[in-house]
Structure 1
Amino acid sequence: MVPKETEKLETELLLEAIYRGYGFDFRQYARSSLLRRLHYIRQKAGVAHLSELIPLILHDERFVGELLSSMSVTVTEMFRDPDFFLELRTKVIPVLKTYPFVKIWHAGCATGEEVYSMAIVLQEEGFYDRVQIYATDMNQQSLKTAEEGIYPLDAIRKFTVNYNNSGGKASFSDYYYAKYQMAKMNEDLKRNIVFTAHNLVTDQTFGDMNMIVCRNVLIYFDRQLQNQVFRLFDESLVHRGFLCLGSKESMEFSSLRGTYENVSARWRIFRKPLT
């Protein structure tokens, strides 16, 4: 077994190599989940020590692509946490509908399931044509999947249950067509979605957003990095804009603590103050 101090040094050198070589900064990710992913990558690469991954990072771009895909978390599903979307329908969307035009940022959108869920909700609430959605992620492979909007047909049953429980107003089958054991989301849902790469750790703000959705991403960051991202979101939101986090995430330990209105305590929906 590798001594703890040796593993700590190997991890720091490895993360520094990724950052200095490619600009992806994992140095402030929560260590327990990060180490699990790094050791999975190490085992898959067939090496005994984390430090043996460094030459591959420096000299093998194909390996780096595989590493970055494995490092970013892509656990998601359509209408995940149906009650969250029900809260959006009842507490947030009625406010957004009063604006002439709305901009929404899905930060860390993974493979896009929740982005299409949002598009469906907005369409059913009758104002999708006045909305622009920016769906971003650092994982290029995940973004490609999101833009294609093609998902395994065996996941549709779960998505359908989620949709119905979220207050869906139609039949979920209206929003996709099935072929060869896959389901492709209707092209019409993409009309107001822009998929683009963005790294929450190193990239700049998205300005003048009326709502930011970033669910179950910050749990993988340490406190310092969480606070950095909260400042990024605060700078990107208009006054009285909405911030939607995951159910296990909180602003409690950030510099913004107590400044945002709590719209939904259970589903971590907050609203930026007027000034």
Structure 2
Amino acid sequence: MSRKFLIAGNWKMNLTPDESAALVDEINSLTGSQTSVQVCVCPPFTSLPVVSSKVEQSEVHLGAQNMHAEPSGAFTGEVSAEMLRSLYVSHVILGHSERRQYFGETNASINSKVIAAINANLRPVFCIGETLEEREAGKTMDVVGAQVREGLVNYPSSALDLLVVAYEPVWAIGTGKTATNEMAQEVHREVRKILSEIFGESAASSIRILYGGSMKPENAAGLLAQPDIDGGLIGGASLSSKSFCDIIEAALSTQA
């Protein structure tokens, strides 16, 4: 099944609103009118309003980097799905390895967020991935399998069109290391197999699985050529309009 590539930029805790506005202006000018590859930018919460206004007239989608599972309440410092929707956010990154590592998020808590996201008609970019220690111990598939199965508990088949999965080997995030094309494809293939077991083969064949471990212009074409890699969740390279758009160009060439 043909799946449209998604190239999503995770800006993490970088850029003021003014800097974010300048970056998204550059991205809009370079790729904001094409529709062959889906593009999404995920600025920090403080930049969501200005970036929302900038992408309103372009084909670039707006994503957030996190959200709380509850719709409202005494959760100081948190942001709800409805707050994101009010800013025309369409995607939300959930379960990123940095959230798991630094903020104690678990498969169960991430699952709560994933379900809350789809109930608000947001597209969860659901992140999974193993640490270096887990890979070296031969536990990659066990770890990733548990993250998928536990993170998607009670996920309704009727909302599979909203789901995006992002495989991000933790040892390749921000380190400059990247899984080889074959290593990445091996895990993506296994993830799709697990999704088939949960939702059925036909449904699983329509779910996009992004690669999120230091994808950059130099390696994007090779990774995107793999049959089960459907785009990228881009970290550092998304902070440069040229690098980010070069990855989009690689996706356009591969999609063609």
Instruction: Give TM-score, length-normalised by structure 1.
Output: 0.30
Instruction: Give TM-score, length-normalised by structure 2.
Output: 0.32
Write 1 or 2 for the structure with the bigger share of strand.
1
